Amino acid sequence: MAPLSTSAGKLQSADASVKLPWLALLALAMTGFICILTETIPAGLLPLIGEGLNVSKGLAGQLVTSYAIGSIAAAIPFAMFTSGFRRRPLLLAIIAVFLVFNTVTALSTSYVLTLIARFFAGMAAGAAWGMIAGYARRMVPEVLKGRALAVAMVGTPIALTFGVPFGTMLGDLIGWRAVFGLMSLLTLILMGWVLWKVPDYPGQSRNQRMTVGQVFVMPGLRSILMVVFTWMLAHNILYTYISPFLEPIGLSERVDLVLLIFGIAALISIWIVGLLIDRMLRPLVLISLIGFALVSVALWVGGTSAPIVYAAVVLWGLTFGGAATLLQTAQANASGEEGVDIAMPINTTVWNLAIAGGGIVGGALLEHVGVQSFPGVLLILLLVALIIAWSAKRHGFPSRQ
């Protein structure tokens, strides 16, 4: 769910006369933007959504969980079942599902109906993430595949940096239902954009396809997936319940500002990772995990101090922004060109298991223990991720690239 880096050497050797199909790739980026925004916007609007549906903030947080479960259910089966379908009609169908179920969410007054709508919207996201990478790579020659994928995935950091904070602020002004209504309007615009600029391609032939089992047993892939799960589980416990976490120190009214600070730091992180990833993938992964562990320690020790919390949020964004780039690059390296179209849906599944887990575990901690338990749980998960990444020296996160 974030950009893959490309080799600087390959980019330098690319034929200068070959240009990226920017408008087509940005349409894919817009698809990713809608996926991420639809997924994460409830995190900043939990109190408003809870009031609107007459449920607690913990139950409102399960709207994120339901979306993630839908992505988990759809990603791998959808990729396997539709690998032979033509690409553009499939993409348009996925976007249409977002239109329908974001509209249902905007209009629903029933918590159960809203959960169901979120589940089906999540299925659309799982389907989208499984095909965006392969779609983008087919639009360009070999030397530009990595760069094309980076452009197609840029919607993720933009959604996290500006979409969620702006959506939170907008929700306070015009209501959370109107925010979902605006996202439905965006999907209508996107459908016209896809028809206008995105080329169509046939699906894969049978002899091109690898099975999930063949990809899953590739050396290093399971280590990467374990790091994905533990790292993203820690992140989503805090991110999903950031509003109630900030309440004890009186910052619950500044969730939009906190998320904006986080997003800007994440965007800086993406830029730094993009510069260094070809030479320093392993060190960057280890540094990011250590930095996030320090964030959990800071929140544990000084979580009642607003200045410490703001400083921790900056470091959190710096350690998280490049995470998807690092992890997907490691996964693409481990799976190779033949396995990447299956590896990405597997990654989507594990990533969304972590998002669902964050909603469930964070909600349980919030309801039964309290937000003060978050930093300790985060620290345990991050230490596990760090040990796995450190141990994967030969495959997964190799010492030499």
Sign of CA dihedral 25, 29, 32, 38: negative
Could you count the other beta carbons within 10 Å of the beta carbon of residue 275? 12
pTM above 0.95, yes or no: no
| Token representation of residue 112 | 């159960």
Model pLDDT, residue 11 = 41
Cα gap 156→66, rounded to integer Å: 20
Cα gap 121→158, rounded to integer Å: 20
Model pLDDT, residue 18 = 65
- The answer to whether 48 and 357 are in contact (CB under 8 A) is no
Q: Within 13 Å of residue 311, how many CA atoms lie on the same side as its CB?
A: 11
Query: 8-391: what CATH class?
Result: mainly alpha
Could you count the other beta carbons within 10 Å of the beta carbon of residue 258? 22
Domain ranges of the chain: 8-391
Cα gap 246→58, rounded to integer Å: 15
Model pLDDT, residue 227 = 95
**Cα→Cα distances 262→97, 221, 257, Å:** 30, 29, 9
Q: What region does 142 belong to: left with phi over 0, alpha with psi -120 to 50, or beta?
A: alpha
Cα gap 263→337, rounded to integer Å: 31
Full DSSP string of 116-154: HHHHHHHHHHHHHHHHHHHHHHHTS-GGGHHHHHHHHTT
- The answer to whether 25 and 140 are in contact (CB under 8 A) is no
Cα gap 35→53, rounded to integer Å: 23
User: What is the residue-level pLDDT of the chain in tens, covering all 401 positions?
Assistant: 444 443 444 444 444 456 889 999 999 999 999 998 998 888 778 889 999 999 988 888 889 889 988 988 888 898 888 877 889 999 999 999 999 999 999 999 999 999 999 999 999 999 998 788 778 878 888 667 666 766 787 787 778 767 777 788 888 899 999 999 999 999 999 999 999 999 998 876 666 667 777 777 788 889 999 999 999 999 999 988 888 888 888 787 788 788 888 888 988 887 787 777 777 889 999 999 999 999 999 999 987 788 899 999 999 999 998 887 788 778 877 876 667 667 878 888 888 788 888 888 988 998 888 888 899 999 999 999 999 999 988 888 987 65
Q: Which of 289, 296, 295 shows the shortest CA–CA distance to 314?
A: 295
Beta-carbon contacts of 131 under 8 Å, excluding residues fewer than 6 positions away, are 79, 82, 87, 90, 91, 94
Model pLDDT, residue 266 = 85
Cα gap 327→332, rounded to integer Å: 9
Cα gap 34→323, rounded to integer Å: 20
